[in-house]
Amino acid sequence: MSSAVRNRMQLHQQNIQSVFAEVFNHQPISRIEISRNLALNKSTVSALYRDLKDQGYVEELGEGDASNVGGRKPVLLAVNRKYGYTMNFDFGYRHLHVMQNNLSGDVLSYKQVNVKGLTLKQILPLIDAELENISANDHSSHGLLGISFAIHGTVDHNKVTYSPFLDMSQVDLEDYYTQKFQVPVLLENEANVSAVYERDFNKANEQLSNMVTISIHRGIGAGLIIHQSLHRGIHGEAGEIGRSVSIDGNWDGEPRKVEDYCSEDAIITQIQDQKHADNMTREDVVRLFKADDQVTKSALTGFVRNVAGIIYNVANNFDPDVIFLNSPLIEALPELKPQIESFYAQMAPSIRVPIKLTKNSHYATLLGGCALVTREVLGMEDAKLNFGAQTVVL
């Protein structure tokens, strides 16, 4: 193949992806609008659209409004929501979170499966059952397109390298599900997919270049978006702030990690020990706080101070446009956010990075995983795709 032919093919593919991105980001949209936005002539756009339609990626919704000068009404185009679906999973402590999304990222179904106390090998049949049940009831043209897994640990080149809460060393998830379903299988750190969720599903963030999402669950991690791209680090360990150690010198044996005293689990354990209780949950902490329980309020004051300190350190290290907090506990007690901001302001009196709460924190990892695996399916990993243009009903 000559270089001229190869260059023409590359240009054609780039143009096809550009047209598809316009449909994806602005649907419903007409070919005239696409032509105007991309500065391509209408005949070129029509030819590229036919290619996309022949491949099943787009569909016609009907006619839009005519222009002010009259003429034919334009045909409106959209992503074909019946093309296929992705399956997205998050290995929570008590539950396996399961979400099915179409090619646009719309949520088709969501459920939780109780997995508390189960090993990964015991969880696999439950995942298989979910995949088989969805497949049996699917009426899309291409079926399952890809699978994503949010991992509460570190991932390097699609392999789990560290998983403190669930032993994942005995099963290669990528290999197991790739062989079983012959689709792309993506594993990613849960803080990273939370950061991708903010980039891809939150239209208000599309002009921001650098963002950090601090994820506070059983552990603590940070997802880094730098120049609109996910930054993983050489070994997939960028943002592992929960494993940062105290440097105050007050070590009794092993050095204390940040997540040993500031994660949601650490706070629940602290309150549980002081109240001589057993098996407390986040819901118990919320209930006690609202009941003005002093043990709980004191523990959460310490939590608030520590979170403010984490934000201060992250802001100094990365100087992002914004910092998001992905914390179900703070989402359940939104009155903690102003307290965090107040302590942070005391630490950083001059320049402060805006702090925002991640909305729908329970779903952020699943939607972020959906965005990543959908990009891989489309071969558009680096394209600007605004999943937030879609209507997501949870």
How many CB atoms are closer than 10 A to CB 345? 12
pLDDT tens readout for residues 348-381: 988 889 999 998 888 999 999 999 999 999 999 9
* pLDDT level of residue 254 (50, 70, 90 thresholds): confident
183: phi then psi, degrees, rounded to nearest 5? -135, 160
Strand order in the sheet with 29-30: 29-30, 75-79, 58-63
pLDDT at 259 over 70: yes
The DSSP 8-state label assigned to residue 242 in this structure reads G
CA distance 122 to 95: 13
pLDDT at 308 over 50: yes
User: What percent of the chain shows pLDDT beyond 90?
Assistant: 77
Average pLDDT over residues 32-59: 93
4: phi then psi, degrees, rounded to nearest 5? -65, -45
At how many degrees (to 10) do helices 31-38 and 3-26 cross? 120
User: What percent of the chain shows pLDDT beyond 70?
Assistant: 93
Q: Which CATH class is domain 85-196+362-378?
A: alpha beta
Domain 85-196+362-378 and domain 205-358 have a common topology: yes
Backbone dihedral region of 151: left (phi > 0), alpha (psi from -120 to 50 degrees) or beta? Answer: beta
DSSP letter string, 68-122: TTB-PPPEEEEE-TTS-EEEEEEE-SSEEEEEEEETT--EEEEEEEE-TT--HHH
CA distance 86 to 142: 11
The CATH number corresponding to 8-79 among 1.10.10.2120, 3.30.70.360, 1.10.150.110, 1.10.10.10 equals: 1.10.10.10
Q: Which CATH class is domain 205-358?
A: alpha beta
In angstroms, the Cα distances linking 97 to 100, 110, 144, 362 are 10, 8, 18, 9
pLDDT tens readout for residues 178-216: 999 999 999 999 999 999 999 999 877 778 899 999 999
Tokens (6 digits) for 214:
């601090």
CB 147 within 8 A of CB 373: yes
CA distance 98 to 88: 6
Instruction: Tell which residue, 231, 86, 233, 88, has the closest CA to residue 161.
Output: 233
Average pLDDT over residues 6-29: 88
Helices (H) and strands (E) in the chain, counts: 13, 15
Collect all residues with Cβ–Cβ distance below 8 Å to 164 and sequence separation of at least 6.
152, 153, 219
pLDDT at 324 over 60: yes
Collect all residues with Cβ–Cβ distance below 8 Å to 131 and sequence separation of at least 6.
87, 144, 147, 181
Kind and range of the H or E run holding 369: helix 361-378
Backbone dihedral region of 279: left (phi > 0), alpha (psi from -120 to 50 degrees) or beta? Answer: left
Kind and range of the H or E run holding 176: helix 173-181
Domain boundaries, the chain: 8-79, 85-196+362-378, 205-358
User: Higher model confidence: residue 3 or residue 194?
Assistant: 194
